[in-house]
Amino acid sequence: MSDLTALTNADIFDGAEWHRATSLVIENGKIKTVGADVPAGARVIDVQGALVVPGFIDLQVNGGGGVMLNDEQTVEGLAQICAAHAKFGTTALLPTLITDTREITAAAIAAGKDAKAKKVPGFLGLHLEGPHLSIARKGAHDPQLIRPMEQVDLERLLALKGEFDGLMITVAPENTTEDQVRQLAQAGFTVSLGHTNTAYETAEAYVKAGARTATHLFNAMSPLENRTPGLVGTVLNVGSLYAGIIADGFHVHPASMSIALRAKQGSGKIFIVSDAMSTIGTDLTGFMLNGRQIYRKDGRLTLADGTLAGADIDMLSSVRFVHEKIGLPFEEALRMASLYPAEAIGVADRKGLLKPGFDADFVVLGRDHAMKSTWIGGDQVFSA
């Protein structure tokens, strides 16, 4: 017997167009129909004119709910991070490990495998942000832990082929080779360039080797200049390259974000990431990262010297920022948080849109774009 649920009296954005005053039917965790008649026997939920939109997909999430992946590599910790972000519309995410030791990395991978086996709601896979970065562009990463990728590192990473639905790694050309990137891409990694001073020509070569995205556009990377376009120039000019961007108004000036969105060429898109830390969903005033104090104040997270250390923002707030402050149509802001990250990570065949056969991952919002509920795999996991 199938499990049928119908949300009725809804304005549904399927990722491409609106379906007004109609129904969304889900069956066994998948979208069955959008805008069709409600089948007999379905459990009916009247959302009273609310908006139903694709669930948000966050490819860079360092923590949430008081937990940092760097501090707690357990399935319980991963579940707590996922649950914290579900309260703000995130239905799939990549818990992200900031540069750390081989032992911590191995523990995070083991916890990720456990989370997948136990089907933790919202867990999509892992993002390893480092340790193979540029010290010159370390940001809040511990320079004592940054190092070149060695053969033993590569072999351990290649052994993860097929283990996760989403698997991302941020690397810098300064500490990896084109061949290493090629092998990682062939093994199913979404290779992201970041924390680097790389030249345009080098970045372009790494894209040809298999790099698919760039990590937090503008931050911790060589800037766009008249004779040296750097990684920013590569993102904007190389059509296939996607890029995450932190939309909190602190990491990137709204004018820079607006210029980048207008300038981006090709099929690759700029998508929203939260780069969130453990503070999301809590009243924490700070936390520790690799033995260093991180301070939380006025929407910012910083080291003692003022260096930004991740972000204190959730995906729904990011969507609203892009819509209200940057001036993008609400529909495009939604795509930046759902469809485009799904494309970047290679899961756009089942996530990022509300289409028949896709995963029933969606968010119910008020007409004022306030949070109402979050659904993952057809189950309501949060209600406001």
Residues 190 and 130: their CA atoms lie apart, in Å, by 13
Known binder of ligand: residue 308?
A: yes
Known binder of ligand: residue 216?
A: yes
Known binder of ligand: residue 205?
A: no
Angle in degrees, CA 224, 229, 231, rounded to 5: 80
Which of these, 230, 213, 229, 212, lies nearest to 221 by C-alpha position? 230
Known binder of ligand: residue 28?
A: no
Q: Write down the catalytic residue from 14, 58, 100, 275.
A: 275
275 counts as catalytic: yes
Q: Beta-carbon neighbour count of residue 323 at 10 Å?
A: 19
Angle in degrees, CA 130, 277, 293, rounded to 5: 85
Known binder of ligand: residue 132?
A: no
List of long-range contacts for 334-337, beta carbons under 8 Å, 24+ apart: 334/13, 334/15, 334/53, 334/54, 335/15, 335/269, 336/269, 336/270, 336/271, 336/272, 337/56, 337/57, 337/58, 337/89, 337/271, 337/272
Which of these, 212, 209, 207, 232, lies nearest to 137 by C-alpha position? 232
- Going by their DSSP bridges, the two strands 213-214 and 190-193 should be labelled as parallel
Largest CA distance in the chain: 65
Measured in residues, the chain has a length of 384
As given in the structure block, the two tokens for residue 298 are 């006025």
**Residue 31, beta-bridge partner list:** 26
Known binder of ligand: residue 236?
A: no
Do 102 and 57 touch, CB atoms closer than 8 A?
Answer: no
Residues 348 and 204: their CA atoms lie apart, in Å, by 25
Amino acid code (one letter) for 362:
F
Known binder of ligand: residue 251?
A: yes
Amino acid code (one letter) for 45:
I
Burial class (CB in 10 A: 0-12, 13-18, 19+), 305: exposed
Known binder of ligand: residue 309?
A: yes
Annotated binding site for substrate: 140, 219-220, 227, 251, 308-310
Catalytic residues: 275
